[in-house]
């Protein structure tokens, strides 16, 4: 009697994430790495390693260092980084390269082409200044980016992952196209960010959890609070976050300290945003644009807090004006002061908007599980199964 031949082992497929900073991957994308490992993939994260290697490796992913300064616009530096990355992709025998954020797409897409890896996921986490600028230079930059990402850096097996439909349109893509997937940002864990009872009013306690950047509209929030207080409104503003030394749009620490002396509390960065929202009534992010879908808004909404933000791509994807919070024009401190005044005068409105924000997270595809499920589906499609 013949014995059956042992089954031929199927080689493990390799997924390689490319991201500029380990902190960014650790703060947003660990659930995605866990889900990919759970699929049976060999997962590697190529990034500039600083303090978050252990957190990434705890998902089961391998961390591969690559030094590339994300604030540099030097084409020679970017080309050198792409060459280094191409060698890494070949050594890892990458089957899919998942590039996170614009610079990683430019460098990682070039490297994938050099390494002969056709299966690529380009994850736009916002268009930054290129998306926020409405002048001729901004339009030209978007046109150039559109031709590059959809042309030289694209392949038949390239898929585009967006956090809002506006960014897809800005790059000349139809959000309904089969090559395009729109997800709820990085998603949020609704159990880790659960609602807590609202503090007593007055005063209205407002928080911003964000990098301290001019592009986030931190100065607009400060001015809006000053205007509201000038009207006799009892409102407090607490800022949680640090200036980003790699970002040219960072608010100087001296300015943050000056604001603190002027009645605006700058608390520095926080490791526990859920506790921030437990002690606040409202989450604010008066962004000037260029967002993907801000994680801070997802976390605050999951905690059942109303959202005060601007009518720009990403922010308006989550927040419907008058439903989960209020949308105001970017850079409009008086309009933001009006919204603060309205919330300060109506605690029942604060509670109603916050409950709607929580419901939006649970039912709108904004959880970590929903986002990871969509992305893993994308991997399965690229693997042909």
Nearest residue to 28 via CA among 241, 377, 295, 212: 295
pLDDT for 1 equals 47
Whether residue 9 is predicted with pLDDT greater than 60 in this model: the reply is: no
Report the side by side order of strands in the sheet with 235-240: 265-268, 235-240, 204-209, 282-285, 307-310, 325-328
Condensed to tens digits (0 to 9), the pLDDT of residues 320-363 reads 999 999 999 999 999 999 999 999 999 999 999 999 999 999 99
Range from 154-158, 241-245, 272-276 carrying the lowest mean pLDDT? 241-245
Average pLDDT over residues 186-190: 97
pLDDT for 43 equals 98
Whether residue 5 is predicted with pLDDT greater than 60 in this model: the reply is: no
Q: What is the pTM of this model?
A: 0.91
Residues 6+ apart with CB under 8 A from 285: 208, 210, 216, 217, 294, 296, 297, 307, 308, 309, 310, 315
Whether residue 3 is predicted with pLDDT greater than 80 in this model: the reply is: no
Domains of the chain: 14-186+367-383 (3.40.50.2000), 204-363 (3.40.50.2000)
Condensed to tens digits (0 to 9), the pLDDT of residues 80-126 reads 899 999 999 999 999 999 999 999 999 999 999 999 999 999 999 99
């Amino acid at each position: 009697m013949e014995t059956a031949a042992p089954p031929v082992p199927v080689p493990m497929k390799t997924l390689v994430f490319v991201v500029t900073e380990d902190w960014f991957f650790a703060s947003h994308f660990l659930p995605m790495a866990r889900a990919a490992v759970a699929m049976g993939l060999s997962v590697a994260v190529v990034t500039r390693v600083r303090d978050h290697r252990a957190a990434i490796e705890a998902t089961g992913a391998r961390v591969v260092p690559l030094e590339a300064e994300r604030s540099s616009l030097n084409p020679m530096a970017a080309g050198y980084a792409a060459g280094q990355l191409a060698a890494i992709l070949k050594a890892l025998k990458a089957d899919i390269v998942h590039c996170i954020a614009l610079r990683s797409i430019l460098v990682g897409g070039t490297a994938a082409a050099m390494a002969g890896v056709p299966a690529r996921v380009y994850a736009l986490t916002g268009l930054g200044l290129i998306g926020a600028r409405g002048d001729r230079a901004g339009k030209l930059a978007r046109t150039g980016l559109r031709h590059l990402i959809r042309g030289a850096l694209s392949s038949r097996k390239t898929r585009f992952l967006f956090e809002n439909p506006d960014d897809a349109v800005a790059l000349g893509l139809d959000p309904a196209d089969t090559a395009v997937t729109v997800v709820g940002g990085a998603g949020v864990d609704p159990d880790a960010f659960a609602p807590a009872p609202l503090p007593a009013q007055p005063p209205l306690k407002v928080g911003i959890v964000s990098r301290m950047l001019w592009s986030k509209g931190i100065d607009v929030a400060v001015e809006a609070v000053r205007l509201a207080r000038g009207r006799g409104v009892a409102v407090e503003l607490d800022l949680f976050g640090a200036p980003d030394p790699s970002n040219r749009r960072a608010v100087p620490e001296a300015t943050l300290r000056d604001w603190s002396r002027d009645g605006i509390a700058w608390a520095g960065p926080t490791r526990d945003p859920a506790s921030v929202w437990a002690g606040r009534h409202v989450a604010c992010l008066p962004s000037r644009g260029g967002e993907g879908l801000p994680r801070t808004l997802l976390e605050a909404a999951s905690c059942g807090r109303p959202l005060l933000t601007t009518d720009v791509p990403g922010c308006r994807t989550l927040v419907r004006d008058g439903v989960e919070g209020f949308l105001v024009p970017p850079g409009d401190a008086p309009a933001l002061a009006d919204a603060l005044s309205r919330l300060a005068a109506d605690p029942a409105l604060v509670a109603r908007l916050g409950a709607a924000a929580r419901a939006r997270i649970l039912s709108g595809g904004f959880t970590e599980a929903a986002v990871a499920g969509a992305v893993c589906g994308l991997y399965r499609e690229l693997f042909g199964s």
